[in-house]
Amino acid sequence: MQVAVTFRHMETDEGVKAYVKEKVEKLQKYIENPREVHVVLAAEKFRHIAEVTIVGNGGAFNSQGRDSDLYAAIDQSVEKMERQIRERRDKVRRKRSNPASLKTSLQGGEETREEKEEEGPLALIRRKSILAKPMSLEEAISQLSFSKKEFLIFMNSDSGQMNVVTRSKDGGFEWVEPHSK
């Protein structure tokens, strides 16, 4: 994570830079893969302004803190940023929660116990959606050889069917193509 600190209308201070970097690095535990952090510290008359912008895989976050003390403005901005990130993460968790599990928790008594027993094996299955790009077998093999993945699911451009290419234990590749009897 790269942290860039910009000073506006004030002199550069290494102690303040170190303080900012220490505070911002604490935010790293909330964001999966932060690419860059930009902090702008400014002085206007009797107040200090601290703006923090974080760009990562989850999007961009921006916060601003204002106070007569520079360190208090930095703290405000970091607290706002932390709150934003937590709220976004909680919102994503709520969206990803399973609607079927919400229905069973809202229903009462014995019906839910029976449903849970019936859904036992299905509860172990995790669903994952992927994009199957149309490509030839040669393209799929070359793409798999450049990646670190163990398999690649693709739409065969020749047959129009879903195919899978996997790495074999001997260092080669295996091609799985569905067919009917």
Average pLDDT over residues 109-122: 48
The pLDDT value given to residue 118: 47
- Cα–Cα distance measured from residue 83 to residue 106, given in angstroms and rounded to the nearest whole number: 29
Tell me which CATH homologous superfamily contains domain 2-96: Ribosome hibernation promotion factor-like (3.30.160.100)
- Cα–Cα distance measured from residue 81 to residue 79, given in angstroms and rounded to the nearest whole number: 5
Q: Which helix (H) or strand (E) holds 122?
A: helix 120-123
- Cα–Cα distance measured from residue 20 to residue 78, given in angstroms and rounded to the nearest whole number: 9
Say which residue the tokens 């405000």 belong to: 76
Same fold, 2-96 and 134-176: no
Instruction: Write out the two tokens for 169.
Output: 């234990």
Q: Which CATH architecture has domain 134-176?
A: 2-Layer Sandwich (3.30)
Domains of the chain, residue spans = 2-96, 134-176
At 58-79, the pLDDT tens digits run 678 899 999 999 999 999 999 9
Rounded to the nearest 5°, which phi and psi values hold at 166?
A: -125, 160
Residue type, 12: T
Alpha helices (H) in the chain, listed in sequence order:
14-25, 70-96, 99-106, 109-118, 120-123, 137-146
Coil vs helix vs strand at 41: strand
- Cα–Cα distance measured from residue 127 to residue 142, given in angstroms and rounded to the nearest whole number: 27
Give the confidence band of 106 by pLDDT, cuts at 50, 70, 90: very low
**Long-range contacts: 106-114, Cβ < 8 Å, 24+?**
none
Average pLDDT over the chain reads 81
- Cα–Cα distance measured from residue 134 to residue 154, given in angstroms and rounded to the nearest whole number: 6
The pLDDT value given to residue 100: 54
CA 112 distance to own-chain centroid: 33
**Is pLDDT of 116 > 80?**
no
| Contact of 22 with 16, CB cutoff 8 Å | no
- Cα–Cα distance measured from residue 102 to residue 87, given in angstroms and rounded to the nearest whole number: 21
The residues pairing with 63 across neighbouring beta strands, listed in sequence order, are 52
Start-to-end CA span in the chain (Å)? 54
**Is pLDDT of 99 > 70?**
no
